[in-house]
Amino acid sequence: MSEKICVITGASSGIGAALAMLLATQGDTIVLVARRESELNAVAERCGDRAVAMVADVTSRAAVVRVVQDTIARFGRIDVWVNNVGQGISLQPSQLTDQDIDDIMTVNVKTALYGMQETLEHFKSRGEGQVINVSSMLGRIPFATFRSAYCGAKHFLNALTATFRAEVQATHPAIQYTLVSPGVVRTEFGLNARHGGVDSRTLPNSQSAEEVAEVIAKVMTTRQPDVYTRHGARQMVLDYLSGLAADIS
């Protein structure tokens, strides 16, 4: 089966929009999901007749259920679900409030959990499927103190993805849960952070959204469980972990 039916959340801009346009050129059918209707429709228009826009706020489980049901009703199946919704926060850990934690966990973890859970029975019925969770290098190395809650949420997402994969693949090995970890991406992510933030497009050592989209599109074919989007990122993580703690002597 060459053509895939792909659902992308957070598709109105940034990585999600870039991925949608790339997949459209490859002949896939894309369901674009986001809250901002006008921006979402603009991306769908650029993708051509292979794209459908579904306005939804995926911080609501009911909205995710609706997208799953509407996609299956329209296209008969879902092949790939990309959890791409995320938001940063610009606040030192000593200053975090309960509401900050609740909001960042909802956007970065619960949205992905809803996508994984609500597609599960459909994937089990077909015996195959793939969920791709967009994480971050900050989910491996928490080097930005002002992104403390975001770092924690992405660490949670990484663990959730790994354990969800282990549970499901114990009985359905053809269902894959892939984790993709970009570094700094030239999008409006920083500007859209809670409490404001620096423009990610001005930071050094960044990638374009299109470069990250190419990695995500590739893992739809390779079905690797865990990938970074930049060369050298894996070694950075290994170096960090090797110097983190000492064995008991």
The catalytic residues are: 150
DSSP 50: G
Considering only CA atoms, which of 147, 183, 164, 188 is closest in space to residue 112? 164
Considering only CA atoms, which of 214, 194, 177 is closest in space to residue 87? 194
Q: How far is CA 76 from CA 82, 126, 209, 248, in A?
A: 18, 11, 30, 55
Considering only CA atoms, which of 220, 215, 213, 218 is closest in space to residue 233? 215
Considering only CA atoms, which of 35, 84, 32 is closest in space to residue 57? 35
* Two tokens, residue 53: 């826009």
Considering only CA atoms, which of 109, 119, 110 is closest in space to residue 81? 119
